[in-house]
Structures are given as C-alpha cells and as structure tokens.
Amino acid sequence: MSPARRTRFDPRSILAVLQAAEVQSVLIGGLARVARGSDEVTGGVDICPSLQPANLARLEDARRDMGATDQTPIDETRLRGEPVVEVMTGFGQLKIVATPAGVPRGYEALRPGASSEHLGDGLRPTIASTGDLIAMAAALRRPEDLERLPALRRILELEAEPARLVAVQPPLKLPPALAPGEAEKSARPAHLRRGGPAPGRDIGR
C-alpha cells in the first residue's frame, strides 16, 4: 500500500506545523477555496511560500516536523524548476507552488490581497484572496477549475457586500480529517465517484 493511502489527511495539523515554524506562505488551491466558501472536497494542502532563504529554511524544518517522506531539500532552485513540489507528510499531502498559474510572481503578488483568517484553536493561516483564486483557476483552464468559476465569482460578489456575506456565510472551517484512501476517492470527478460515464460522453466510446 502506498504512503498516500496509509496517511490520514489532517489539514489542520499541516497548517499548525507551518504556523509554529513561522513559515511565510499563502494558502492556495482547494483548501483556500473551501475556506473562502466554496463547496468542494480537497485531499491536500497547497501553499505558495516566500522564497527568501531564511523562510525556506523554516519550511525545511516544518517538513521534517511533519514526518515528510521526501528527503530532497526544498530550496529556491528546486521550487523554480518544478511547477509543483509534492511532499507526503504524516498528516497528508502538502503541495508547494512557487509560481502558481495566473500569478507568476507568486508569494510577492499574492500576499497583498491575502488575509489572515481565524480557523479556531489559534490557527490563523494566510489565505489567498477570492480574486486571486479566480485568476489561478481560470489560468489552469482544467474543466474542473472552470466549473468552479461561477461559484467563486458569486463569493467575490458577496464579499463586496459585507452585510449580505455575514447573513449567508457560515464561519470558516476546514474539512475533517479524511480516513486513509478517502482523499483520493473524494478528489475524483463526481461521475467517477458514482461509477458512471463522464457527462456528455457516449458509453462504449
């Protein structure tokens, strides 16, 4: 059985270790969209870190504290050369993205619009703005990302009207830890989870 299937996905613990190590990063990807109000399931934590040497050293310390299986050093050269550095930790998958699609300047461009959000128990990750999440999803141009755009744009509209957002938006919360194997299952497209054909495709083709 692979490490990914043995590991329970615990996003709160990943974020807590990063916070304790004082890693400067912006939460992006599925978990950031969930925190902003998107209705989806994610099986990993995606971050865009500052590439300052001291910060990458703290990220290395955090990776070790999480019990990461990947022993290749995380430095600027590696982050510049790999679009996504995937690290399997004792709490699930951590993806490190230096230059997200749609935001080529990475952390320096994301940080001004990001905000620190209370997620309970002292956990306060810095989360990418809804506008930047829209830009990243649009730039990826994958079908699943394009399908999320209408909901993200609606969230952006609500954020522009704080009174309405308070009335309809529940408190920010993270998904519960997923049992081994559930992260991969939940991340599949809906038609695969149902066991049926993809929408709009002929059976047997």
pLDDT confidence tier of residue 181, bands split at 50, 70 and 90:
low
Distant-in-sequence, close-in-space partners of 76: CB < 8 Å, separation ≥ 6: 51, 53, 56, 98
- Residue 150: which H helix or E strand, with range? helix 143-159
Radius of gyration of the chain from its Cα atoms, rounded to whole angstroms: 17
**pTM of the predicted protein model:** 0.77
35 and 76 Cβ atoms separated by less than 8 Å = no
**CA–CA separation, 205 vs 7, rounded Å?**
36
**CA–CA separation, 29 vs 95, rounded Å?**
9
pLDDT value of residue 71: 80
Q: Tell me the domain boundaries of the chain.
A: 3-169
Asked whether the predicted pLDDT for residue 176 surpasses 70, the reply is: no
Give the CATH fold of the 3-169 domain.
Beta Polymerase; domain 2 (3.30.460)
The string of pLDDT tens digits covering residues 82-141 is 999 999 999 999 999 999 999 999 999 999 999 999 988 899 999 999 999 999 999 998
Asked whether the predicted pLDDT for residue 202 surpasses 90, the reply is: no
Q: Which two tokens stand for residue 75?
A: 């430095």
